[in-house]
A and B are shown apart, each in its own frame.
Chain A
Amino acid sequence: GDSVTQMEGPVTLSEEAFLTINCTYTATGYPSLFWYVQYPGEGLQLLLKATKADDKGSNKGFEATYRKETTSFHLEKGSVQVSDSAVYFCALSDQVRDDKIIFGKGTRLHILP
């Protein structure tokens, strides 16, 4: 079945460092891809999404590009802030059967001032 694999955390960076969180997926069709963020004590929030190959999703300085050839959707940010400390989830949904989202295990990010 469809699945998402993302790098295990925690990831610890200093403020203003460059961030990459790797995500790869397995899917039989052509899924939509997402990154969700979970701040401490809160529910998940959609951060960005991409629905077809080579699409780039972006929001709040974060970017991810839908790479069909490598089945990847890596999350990047050029300069992280302490407020970016959270858990990040890569996820996919099938474009035909879009009633379910399959989430990765999550990557905890700590940003040090």
Chain B
Amino acid sequence: DAGVIQSPRHEVTEMGQEVTLRCKPISGHDYLFWYRQTMMRGLELLIYFNNNVPIDDSGMPEDRFSAKMPNASFSTLKIQPSEPRDSAVYFCASSLKLPEQFFGPGTRLTVL
């Protein structure tokens, strides 16, 4: 079975550019989570969706970050404009039955 799929796996961009990260959850999972992982702050929950509806976005750092889930098989996390402090690994996870979550391989973002 395919796990959570994320693209791209690596992204290098310049400060001020728009960045879009993509996630395909495991089929049938109706929860989707976006996390950010840094050395300093560890793993932080940014936002999560249930049945494509955003439930809790209290972890989104600021207005430069936005996330959408237009259908059950696709979600995006967008950063516009990007800043060097956004450099991190971004994980998507999905769940069929809470609290167990299945993580994707992550997108390593570097903002120069």
Contact = CB atoms under 8 A, between A and B. Distances in A.
Interface in B31-68: 31, 42-43, 45, 48, 50, 55-56
B99 interface: yes
B60 to A, nearest CB: 14
Interface in A69-113: 89, 93, 98-101, 103-106
A104 B42 contact: yes
B31 A44 contact: no
Q: Which of A34, A41, A43, A45 has the most CB of B within 10 A?
A: A43
A46 interface: yes
B93 interface: yes
B42 A105 contact: yes
Interface size class of B (residues with CB under 8 A): 20 to 34
Contacts of A41: 105
Contact of B99 (A32, A42, A89): A32
A99 B56 CA distance: 10
Nearest to B40: A105
Interface in A30-66: 32, 34, 41-46, 49
A1 B93 CA distance: 23
B42 A45 contact: no
Given A42-B105, A43-B93, A43-B106, A98 B43 contact: no
Contacts of A99: 31, 48, 50, 55-56, 98-99
B99 A93 contact: yes
Interface of A: 32, 34, 41-46, 49, 89, 93, 98-101, 103-106
Closest 4 CB pairs of A and B: A43-B103, A93-B99, A98-B99, A98-B98
25 contacts: A34-B99, A41-B105, A42-B106, A43-B91, A43-B104, A43-B105, A43-B106, A44-B43, A44-B91, A44-B93, A45-B103, A46-B100, A89-B43, A93-B98, A93-B99, A99-B31, A99-B55, A99-B99, A100-B48, A101-B99, A101-B101, A103-B42, A103-B43, A105-B42, A106-B42
